Amino acid sequence: MPDFILNTDDNVYIPAEDSYLLAENLEIKEGQSVLEIGTGSGIVAMYASRLTDRITVTDINFDACELARKNFEANNIENIEILFGNLFEPVKNRKFDVILFNTPYLPTEEGDVIDSNLNYAFDGGLDGRKVIDLFLNEVGNHLNDGGIVQMIQSSFSDNDLTLSRLDELGFIAEIKAKEHFFFEDITLINAYKI
Protein backbone atom coordinates (compact mmCIF):
# COMPACT_ATOMS: atom_id res chain seq x y z
CA MET A 1 0.00 0.00 0.00
CA PRO A 2 1.26 3.49 -0.77
CA ASP A 3 2.75 5.41 2.10
CA PHE A 4 1.42 8.77 3.21
CA ILE A 5 2.93 11.69 5.07
CA LEU A 6 1.29 11.35 8.48
CA ASN A 7 1.32 14.12 11.10
CA THR A 8 0.20 13.14 14.61
CA ASP A 9 -1.23 14.97 17.63
CA ASP A 10 -1.24 13.91 21.29
CA ASN A 11 -5.02 14.47 21.43
CA VAL A 12 -5.77 12.26 18.40
CA TYR A 13 -5.61 8.47 18.05
CA ILE A 14 -2.38 7.43 16.35
CA PRO A 15 -3.12 4.86 13.62
CA ALA A 16 -2.48 1.33 14.86
CA GLU A 17 -3.21 -2.24 13.75
CA ASP A 18 -6.98 -1.64 13.84
CA SER A 19 -6.68 1.38 11.51
CA TYR A 20 -4.66 -0.61 8.98
CA LEU A 21 -6.93 -3.67 9.22
CA LEU A 22 -9.71 -1.41 7.96
CA ALA A 23 -7.53 0.49 5.43
CA GLU A 24 -6.23 -2.73 3.86
CA ASN A 25 -9.68 -4.28 3.43
CA LEU A 26 -11.71 -1.39 1.99
CA GLU A 27 -14.53 -2.45 -0.34
CA ILE A 28 -15.05 0.75 -2.30
CA LYS A 29 -15.74 1.03 -6.02
CA GLU A 30 -14.85 4.06 -8.10
CA GLY A 31 -17.52 6.75 -7.93
CA GLN A 32 -19.12 5.46 -4.71
CA SER A 33 -19.87 7.89 -1.91
CA VAL A 34 -18.08 7.13 1.35
CA LEU A 35 -18.65 8.29 4.91
CA GLU A 36 -16.03 7.63 7.56
CA ILE A 37 -17.15 8.17 11.15
CA GLY A 38 -14.35 9.07 13.58
CA THR A 39 -11.64 9.74 11.01
CA GLY A 40 -8.95 10.57 13.59
CA SER A 41 -5.71 11.27 11.72
CA GLY A 42 -7.51 10.68 8.42
CA ILE A 43 -5.41 7.64 7.47
CA VAL A 44 -8.31 5.38 6.42
CA ALA A 45 -9.90 8.18 4.39
CA MET A 46 -6.57 8.74 2.63
CA TYR A 47 -6.53 5.12 1.50
CA ALA A 48 -10.18 5.45 0.48
CA SER A 49 -9.28 8.51 -1.61
CA ARG A 50 -7.30 6.21 -3.93
CA LEU A 51 -10.54 4.34 -4.72
CA THR A 52 -13.16 7.09 -5.04
CA ASP A 53 -13.34 10.87 -5.00
CA ARG A 54 -16.58 11.23 -3.01
CA ILE A 55 -15.56 11.05 0.64
CA THR A 56 -16.97 12.70 3.76
CA VAL A 57 -15.39 12.25 7.19
CA THR A 58 -16.68 13.20 10.63
CA ASP A 59 -15.12 13.31 14.07
CA ILE A 60 -16.40 14.33 17.51
CA ASN A 61 -12.84 15.44 18.35
CA PHE A 62 -12.14 18.89 16.88
CA ASP A 63 -8.38 18.25 17.14
CA ALA A 64 -8.89 15.22 14.88
CA CYS A 65 -10.71 17.29 12.25
CA GLU A 66 -7.82 19.76 12.23
CA LEU A 67 -5.20 17.00 12.07
CA ALA A 68 -7.03 15.20 9.25
CA ARG A 69 -7.18 18.49 7.30
CA LYS A 70 -3.42 18.91 7.80
CA ASN A 71 -2.73 15.33 6.66
CA PHE A 72 -4.96 15.63 3.58
CA GLU A 73 -3.16 18.85 2.61
CA ALA A 74 0.28 17.29 3.21
CA ASN A 75 -0.65 14.50 0.79
CA ASN A 76 -2.33 16.77 -1.78
CA ILE A 77 -5.71 15.11 -1.24
CA GLU A 78 -8.50 17.55 -2.05
CA ASN A 79 -11.53 15.27 -2.44
CA ILE A 80 -12.47 14.80 1.23
CA GLU A 81 -15.14 16.80 3.06
CA ILE A 82 -14.40 17.17 6.83
CA LEU A 83 -17.30 17.70 9.25
CA PHE A 84 -17.08 18.18 13.02
CA GLY A 85 -19.66 16.38 15.15
CA ASN A 86 -20.81 13.16 16.77
CA LEU A 87 -21.60 10.09 14.66
CA PHE A 88 -24.22 10.98 12.03
CA GLU A 89 -25.17 14.46 13.38
CA PRO A 90 -23.13 16.33 10.73
CA VAL A 91 -24.70 14.35 7.83
CA LYS A 92 -28.41 14.51 8.69
CA ASN A 93 -30.62 13.41 5.76
CA ARG A 94 -27.64 12.21 3.71
CA LYS A 95 -26.98 8.70 2.46
CA PHE A 96 -23.80 6.99 1.34
CA ASP A 97 -22.74 3.82 -0.51
CA VAL A 98 -20.04 2.89 2.02
CA ILE A 99 -19.84 3.71 5.74
CA LEU A 100 -16.57 3.11 7.63
CA PHE A 101 -16.03 3.22 11.38
CA ASN A 102 -13.12 2.14 13.56
CA THR A 103 -15.29 2.15 16.67
CA PRO A 104 -14.24 3.10 20.22
CA TYR A 105 -14.55 -0.51 21.37
CA LEU A 106 -12.63 -0.74 24.64
CA PRO A 107 -14.66 -1.45 27.77
CA THR A 108 -13.85 1.42 30.13
CA GLU A 109 -14.61 2.01 33.77
CA GLU A 110 -14.58 5.39 35.46
CA GLY A 111 -10.88 5.14 36.31
CA ASP A 112 -9.97 4.40 32.66
CA VAL A 113 -11.42 7.63 31.28
CA ILE A 114 -8.76 10.20 30.39
CA ASP A 115 -9.28 13.96 30.46
CA SER A 116 -8.44 14.58 26.82
CA ASN A 117 -10.16 14.48 23.44
CA LEU A 118 -8.19 11.28 22.86
CA ASN A 119 -10.70 9.57 25.18
CA TYR A 120 -13.29 9.61 22.34
CA ALA A 121 -11.11 7.26 20.30
CA PHE A 122 -11.28 4.30 22.64
CA ASP A 123 -13.93 4.82 25.35
CA GLY A 124 -16.61 2.21 24.69
CA GLY A 125 -18.33 2.49 28.08
CA LEU A 126 -18.59 -0.36 30.58
CA ASP A 127 -19.27 -3.10 27.98
CA GLY A 128 -17.38 -1.54 25.05
CA ARG A 129 -20.67 -1.01 23.20
CA LYS A 130 -21.72 2.51 24.23
CA VAL A 131 -20.89 4.02 20.83
CA ILE A 132 -21.26 0.83 18.76
CA ASP A 133 -24.95 0.52 19.68
CA LEU A 134 -25.67 4.19 18.93
CA PHE A 135 -23.95 3.72 15.56
CA LEU A 136 -25.91 0.55 14.74
CA ASN A 137 -29.22 2.24 15.62
CA GLU A 138 -28.67 4.90 12.97
CA VAL A 139 -26.43 3.40 10.30
CA GLY A 140 -29.26 1.99 8.19
CA ASN A 141 -30.76 5.47 7.76
CA HIS A 142 -27.58 6.73 6.13
CA LEU A 143 -26.73 3.81 3.85
CA ASN A 144 -27.98 3.41 0.30
CA ASP A 145 -29.59 0.10 -0.68
CA GLY A 146 -26.85 -2.28 -1.77
CA GLY A 147 -24.38 -0.36 0.39
CA ILE A 148 -21.83 -1.72 2.83
CA VAL A 149 -20.80 -0.93 6.39
CA GLN A 150 -17.23 -1.78 7.37
CA MET A 151 -16.57 -1.49 11.09
CA ILE A 152 -13.76 -2.42 13.43
CA GLN A 153 -14.41 -3.70 16.93
CA SER A 154 -12.94 -6.13 19.42
CA SER A 155 -13.84 -9.49 20.89
CA PHE A 156 -14.05 -7.50 24.17
CA SER A 157 -17.13 -5.68 22.83
CA ASP A 158 -19.12 -8.78 21.76
CA ASN A 159 -18.81 -9.43 18.04
CA ASP A 160 -21.72 -11.88 18.10
CA LEU A 161 -24.05 -9.23 19.50
CA THR A 162 -23.05 -6.83 16.72
CA LEU A 163 -23.64 -9.52 14.08
CA SER A 164 -27.08 -10.38 15.47
CA ARG A 165 -28.05 -6.68 15.74
CA LEU A 166 -27.05 -6.16 12.11
CA ASP A 167 -29.06 -9.25 11.16
CA GLU A 168 -32.12 -7.81 12.97
CA LEU A 169 -31.62 -4.55 11.08
CA GLY A 170 -31.78 -6.36 7.74
CA PHE A 171 -28.08 -6.57 6.92
CA ILE A 172 -26.08 -9.58 5.83
CA ALA A 173 -23.08 -9.36 8.15
CA GLU A 174 -19.86 -11.32 8.52
CA ILE A 175 -16.47 -11.09 10.16
CA LYS A 176 -14.34 -10.34 7.12
CA ALA A 177 -10.90 -10.24 8.77
CA LYS A 178 -9.36 -10.37 12.21
CA GLU A 179 -6.04 -10.07 13.98
CA HIS A 180 -5.21 -11.61 17.32
CA PHE A 181 -3.45 -9.56 20.00
CA PHE A 182 -2.65 -10.79 23.51
CA PHE A 183 -6.12 -11.30 25.00
CA GLU A 184 -8.37 -10.06 22.21
CA ASP A 185 -9.19 -10.30 18.53
CA ILE A 186 -9.56 -7.08 16.56
CA THR A 187 -12.24 -7.79 13.96
CA LEU A 188 -13.44 -6.20 10.75
CA ILE A 189 -17.17 -6.67 10.29
CA ASN A 190 -18.65 -6.17 6.84
CA ALA A 191 -22.41 -5.68 6.68
CA TYR A 192 -24.29 -5.48 3.39
CA LYS A 193 -27.63 -3.69 3.09
CA ILE A 194 -29.96 -5.64 0.84
What is the model's pLDDT at position 13?
A: 95
Residue scoring higher pLDDT (128 or 83): 83
Give the amino acid at 59.
D
The answer to whether residue 136 sits within a structural domain is yes
pTM of the predicted model as reported, rounded to 2 decimal places: 0.95
What is the model's pLDDT at position 165?
A: 97
Angstrom distance (rounded) from CA 26 to CA 94: 21
Q: Give the end-to-end CA distance of the chain in Å, rounded to a whole number.
A: 31
The answer to whether residue 6 sits within a structural domain is no
What is the model's pLDDT at position 186?
A: 95
The answer to whether residue 23 sits within a structural domain is no
> Can you spell out the DSSP letters for 133-152?
HHHHHHHGGGEEEEEEEEEE
The answer to whether residue 9 sits within a structural domain is no
Number of domains in the chain: 1
pLDDT above 90: residue 96 = yes
CB 190 within 8 A of CB 149: yes
What is the model's pLDDT at position 2?
A: 56
CATH at residue 178? 3.40.50.150
Give the sign of the dihedral formed by CA 108, CA 109, CA 111, CA 115: positive
What is the model's pLDDT at position 107?
A: 87
The answer to whether residue 162 sits within a structural domain is yes
Residue 15 makes CB contacts below 8 A (sequence gap 6+) with 6, 40, 41, 43
The answer to whether residue 112 sits within a structural domain is yes
Q: Over the range 24-52, which residues count as b (16 or more CB within 10 Å of their CB) and which as e?
A: eebebeeebbbbbbbbbbbbbbbbbbebb
pLDDT above 90: residue 106 = no
Give the amino acid at 21.
L
CB 37 within 8 A of CB 135: yes
- Of the pLDDT bands very low, low, confident and very high (cuts 50, 70, 90), residue 8 is very high
pLDDT above 90: residue 112 = no
pLDDT above 80: residue 76 = yes
What is the model's pLDDT at position 117?
A: 86
The answer to whether residue 8 sits within a structural domain is no
**Domain range for 69:** 29-193
What are 113-143's pLDDT values in tens digits? 888 888 888 788 889 899 999 999 999 999 9
Percent of the chain clearing pLDDT 70 (strictly above): 99
Residue scoring higher pLDDT (27 or 110): 27
Q: What is the DSSP letter of 115?
A: S
The answer to whether residue 5 sits within a structural domain is no
